[in-house]
Amino acid sequence: MIREFNLNYVYIVDYVPQQSQEHNKLYTFFENLKAGRLTTTRCPACTRDFWPPRTVCPTCYSDTLEWVDLHATGKVRGFSIQTSGAAPGFTLPMIFARIQLTDQVGFIARVIEVDPQDMVVGMTVELVVVPAPQNRVMWAFRPKK
């Protein structure tokens, strides 16, 4: 269990998106994440996966996108270590990595549960669902065990 968010959470600066259907058109992403699945949207017409998930295809403007599962593991293509200026509720150092999941999907995400000195390009990492305040979740990655 990750305990990073279990501090006195600063509600004036809320870094966790609202995730309910009432507040977020992409709430399915967070529902899937709570179930341990990293998902995104795909345009069936263009056969293209997007990151981040979208409600409309930027190529053909279709709004009938489907949800697809992404690999829960990826490869670190580069990384940066933040050693100062952490946002409230976060502890330093923080590691941010460019992670490639598939040919089409890669992104920058936090890497946790690793000593910064052990970070290497090419490392295989796996999804971690991180609990957040108000029954929300966020995602991060850790070295694959």
How many residues bind Zn ion (CB under 5 A)? The answer is 7
Site for Zn ion in 2-61 (CB under 5 A): 43, 45-46, 57, 59-60
Of 56 and 81, which CB lies nearer to Zn ion in the complex structure?
Answer: 56
Give least dist CB 49 to Zn ion, A: 11
Give least dist CB 63 to Zn ion, A: 10
List of long-range contacts for 75-79, beta carbons under 8 Å, 24+ apart: 75/99, 75/100, 75/122, 75/123, 75/124, 75/125, 76/111, 76/119, 76/120, 76/121, 76/122, 76/123, 76/124, 76/125, 77/106, 77/121, 78/121, 79/111, 79/119, 79/121
Give least dist CB 26 to Zn ion, A: 17
Give least dist CB 113 to Zn ion, A: 37
Site for Zn ion in 64-83 (CB under 5 A): none
Site for Zn ion in 92-131 (CB under 5 A): none
Of 36 and 58, which CB lies nearer to Zn ion in the complex structure?
Answer: 58
Of 22 and 66, which CB lies nearer to Zn ion in the complex structure?
Answer: 66
Task: Render the burial of 105-138: b for 16+ CB within 10 Å, e for the rest.
Answer: beeebbbbebeeeebeeebebebbbbebeeebbb
Binding site for Zn ion (CB under 5 A): 43, 45-46, 57, 59-60, 62
